[in-house]
Amino acid sequence: MQKFTQLTGVAAPLPIVNIDTDMLIPKQFLKTIKRTGLGKSLFFEMRYDDRGQEKPEFVLNQAPYRQAQILVAGANFGCGSSREHAPWALNDFGIRVIIAESFADIFHNNCFKNGILPIALPPDQVAALMEDARKGANARLAIDLESQTISRPNGEVIHFQIAAAHKHALLNGLDEIGESLAHKPAIDSYEKRDRGEFAFLNSPIKAA
């Protein structure tokens, strides 16, 4: 998993509450088990018309937001089904940070498994960052995970909270498998001892 330490860039404003996972990646794109290739279908029904042409009014179809790595959105982001394809699609598009008032629990946890930083902030701070995002290329946000800060274009610094375990995982690029493998020496030692002390459990059963 890609590490997350710092990110500075343009944020795309998406002032919509209750953005659910079907809006993020509709059900017809859930057939794949690959984590790549879904970015083009992110927000599919909002980005494209019935002929598959881009809707110019949608924010991610506009410059400079086509390359946005940060989203500032409404409350309850990621609600709906638990599909992990939602963070896969966001990540494949290039989104590494989502700032919102609140997140659905399962989506929130899935973000950390895929190298995305979800930041929950009070409504007034989200509103201020939304205004920054609306300024486009003239306003860039700087996110620093180590110091847990967001630096606004006007110089204001906003602090955010994150669980220590999630912070450690993102800083070190560790998903759940990676975190398990970090304990490989201890696991190997246990298995070696187990094979010695309980050899009878590991012996093949002979037919009578």
Give 18-74 pLDDT, tens digit per residue.
999 999 999 999 988 888 999 999 999 999 999 999 999 999 999 999 999 999 999
Q: Is residue 1 part of a domain?
A: no
pLDDT tens-digit map of 133-169: 999 998 999 999 999 999 999 999 999 999 999 999 9
Q: Distance of alpha carbon 23 from its chain centroid, rounded?
A: 15
CATH number for 111: 3.20.19.10
Q: Is residue 207 part of a domain?
A: no
Cβ 108 vs Cβ 50: under 8 Å: no
* Sheet hosting strand 97-100, strand order edge to edge: 117-120, 97-100, 70-73, 6-14, 140-144, 149-151, 157-159
Q: Is residue 123 part of a domain?
A: yes
pLDDT for res 206 = 60
Three-state secondary-structure class, residue 157: strand
Q: Distance of alpha carbon 6 from its chain centroid, rounded?
A: 14
Instruction: Supply the angle between the helices 164-172 and 105-113 in degrees, to the nearest 10.
Output: 30
Paired tokens of 109: 């946890």
pLDDT for res 202 = 64
In whole angstroms, what is the distance from residue 23 CA to residue 90 CA? Answer: 12
Cβ 58 vs Cβ 84: under 8 Å: no
Cβ 92 vs Cβ 84: under 8 Å: no
Q: Is residue 188 part of a domain?
A: yes
Nearest to 83 by CA among 111, 60, 102, 116: 111
Query: 147 in the Ramachandran plot: left (φ > 0), alpha (ψ -120 to 50) or beta?
Result: alpha
pLDDT for res 42 = 98
pLDDT for res 175 = 72
pLDDT for res 90 = 98
In whole angstroms, what is the distance from residue 5 CA to residue 169 CA? Answer: 11
pLDDT tens-digit map of 80-133: 999 999 999 999 999 999 999 999 999 999 999 999 999 999 999 999 999 999
Nearest to 101 by CA among 86, 119, 115, 80: 119
Q: Is residue 208 part of a domain?
A: no
If one compares 207 and 81, the residue with the highest pLDDT of the two is 81
What is the model's pTM? 0.86
Q: Is residue 163 part of a domain?
A: yes
Domain span at 176:
6-201
Q: How confident is the model at residue 182 (pLDDT cuts 50, 70, 90)?
A: low
Q: How many domains does the chain have?
A: 1
Q: Is residue 206 part of a domain?
A: no
Q: Residues 96-107, buried b or exposed e (16+ Cβ, 10 A)?
A: bbbbbbbbbebb
Q: Is residue 60 part of a domain?
A: yes
